[in-house]
Amino acid sequence: MLHITGLSHIDIDQPIFNSQSIIGKRSFDLLIISKNWPSPGAKTWLVTNPLIAFRSLQNWESGRSVEVSLIKMKNILVIGSTGQIGSELVPALRTYLNETGTVVAGYTSRTPLPQDIKEAGPSALVNVCDKASIETAVKNYEIDTIYNLAALLSATAESVPLKAWDVGINGLFNVLEIARENHCSVFTPSSIGAFGPNTPKLNTPQDTIMRPTTMYGITKVTGELLSNYYYNKYETDTRSVRYPGLISYKTPPGGGTTDYAVEIFWSAVKGEPYKCPIAPDTPMDFMYMPDAIRAAIELMIANPENLKHRNSFNLSAMSFTPAQLAKSISKKISDFKITYEVDPLRQSIAESWPDSLDETCAEEEWGWKPEFDMENMVGDMLENVQGLLNKGNSSSKKE
């Protein structure tokens, strides 16, 4: 994880806090500033340029307390960089680090790296089931933070449950062991799939019944427990979130139950009717990818002293049914049509998951707040999918 080399709690009115006192310190590579610390809902910013940090602080109301963390350069390994999340997380982390650290894009021989990721920084062949390949990348690049995104999503996992366990759990064990030996922090996403049919469906609490009925869900609960075990037993800095279904346009989703909420946009923009595999009145929780990426970064730079939970935080942004999403799209594309051909597997998984999660703990412990609701997500998705179609990219599904 981040190596905090200095941590001070200061008042921005105090004379000590002037441009010289920040710029004068040469020992840090990144500056993290958290507003209203340590109150609940404190907001954290990662700033790579101390001058910009100082200017933005001057704009704040005087008298606010702020926490300033001076942290060392980070070298990050992202395992699973070619997926729906990884393909957006790698460029986002590179932008955040702003050349003060290295982001290594891990990929497997089965999935070539997108050109933009390959050209913008280092990459390494990393198979999560092959411990040596993780170790080589960690040692070669002096990695201090691992984002472990390798997994088989819920629908795919049901057709190859042993493989899903191997990648999700034996793979995670490898990552945690390497992290323990090399003092790395680890982020391994969990999911709404960690919950099951006995879980309270509405405003699902952070700590509640977790008896999933899918192999995907079983790997997610086990992964949460294993990650907490490494934190409690070895002080390995593990942190994670329970993502809802993620909506994005850059990379198609990889075989999940919530994939419909991405595919629908491609049909709508192409002027085609969409055949939905989920029944019209089935609610699930969703999040737009920019929020998901921000969460992955903000949690990993959060002050560890404020984290009472670690693996994993409930996250939420919007909850809707296919019919509600179709209606929202129809407001922008009036002749859009949706029909339903329910896939029994995906439908039964969807019905076993919560409708909406309570994310209070994430708000209180690391200041989490989503920016996108359904309406502005729909507008942004339609615009961006149209842009991609104009450029000749027409893929809404994994090849």
Site for ligand NAD, rule CB under 6 A: 79-80, 82-86, 108, 111, 126-129, 149-151, 153, 167, 171, 189, 191, 243, 245-246, 253-254, 256, 258
Would you say 190 or 303 has its CB closer to ligand NAD? 190
# residues near ligand AKB by CB under 6 A: 10
Tell me whether residue 216 is one of the annotated catalytic residues: yes
Provide DSSP, 67-95: EEEEE---EEEEETTTSTTHHHHHHHHHH
Would you say 53 or 241 has its CB closer to ligand NAD? 241
CB of 241 to ligand NAD, least distance (A): 8
Distance in angstroms (rounded) separating the CA atoms of residues 84 and 293: 11
User: Measured between alpha carbons, how far apart are the two ends of the chain, in Å?
Assistant: 35
Distance in angstroms (rounded) separating the CA atoms of residues 377 and 282: 19
The phi, psi pair for 341, rounded to 5°, reads: -130, 90
Would you say 69 or 257 has its CB closer to ligand AKB? 257
Check binding of 245 to ligand AKB (CB under 6 A).
yes
CA 66, 69, 70, 72 torsion: positive or negative? Answer: negative
Binder of residue 289, out of ligand NAD, ligand AKB, none (CB less than 5 to 8 A by kind): none
CB of 284 to ligand AKB, least distance (A): 8
Would you say 12 or 287 has its CB closer to ligand NAD? 287
Using CB atoms, what's the residue nearest to ligand AKB? 256
Distance in angstroms (rounded) separating the CA atoms of residues 336 and 330: 6
CB of 340 to ligand AKB, least distance (A): 18
Binder of residue 83, out of ligand NAD, ligand AKB, none (CB less than 5 to 8 A by kind): ligand NAD
Place of tokens 């390494």: 124
Helix, strand, or coil here: 246? strand
According to CB under 6 A, which one of 192, 218, 299, 326 is a site residue for ligand AKB?
Answer: 192
Binder of residue 257, out of ligand NAD, ligand AKB, none (CB less than 5 to 8 A by kind): ligand AKB
Place of tokens 């995670």: 172
CB of 216 to ligand AKB, least distance (A): 6
Check binding of 314 to ligand AKB (CB under 6 A).
no
Binding segment toward ligand AKB, per CB under 6 A, in 99-107, 138-146, 256-264, 373-381: 256-264
Picking from 25, 31, 65, the residue whose alpha carbon sits closest to that of residue 301 is: 31
| Catalytic, out of 96, 107, 147, 216 | 216
CB of 91 to ligand AKB, least distance (A): 21
Distance in angstroms (rounded) separating the CA atoms of residues 265 and 326: 9
- Report the relative pairing of strands 190-191 and 241-243 from DSSP bridges: parallel
Tell me the angle at which helices 171-182 and 215-234 cross, rounded to the nearest 10 degrees.
20
C-alpha dist (Å) from residue 128 to 80, 120, 190, 275, 311: 9, 23, 16, 35, 20
Are the C-beta atoms of 224 and 345 separated by less than 8 Å? no
Binding segment toward ligand AKB, per CB under 6 A, in 88-96, 188-196, 223-231, 385-393: 188-196
Would you say 50 or 189 has its CB closer to ligand NAD? 189
Go through the chain and tell me how many residues it has: 399
Structure tokens at 99: 């050349």
Would you say 236 or 258 has its CB closer to ligand AKB? 258
CB of 179 to ligand AKB, least distance (A): 23
Check binding of 101 to ligand AKB (CB under 6 A).
no
Q: Name the region of 183 (left: φ>0; alpha: ψ -120 to 50; beta: rest).
A: left
Q: Any idea what the Cα angle at residue 347 is, between residues 343 and 351, rounded to 5°?
A: 175
Using CB atoms, what's the residue nearest to ligand NAD? 83
Picking from 99, 186, 89, the residue whose alpha carbon sits closest to that of residue 134 is: 186
Check binding of 214 to ligand AKB (CB under 6 A).
no
* Catalytic residue list: 216
By CB under 6 A, name the binding residues for ligand AKB. 153-154, 191-193, 216, 245, 256-258
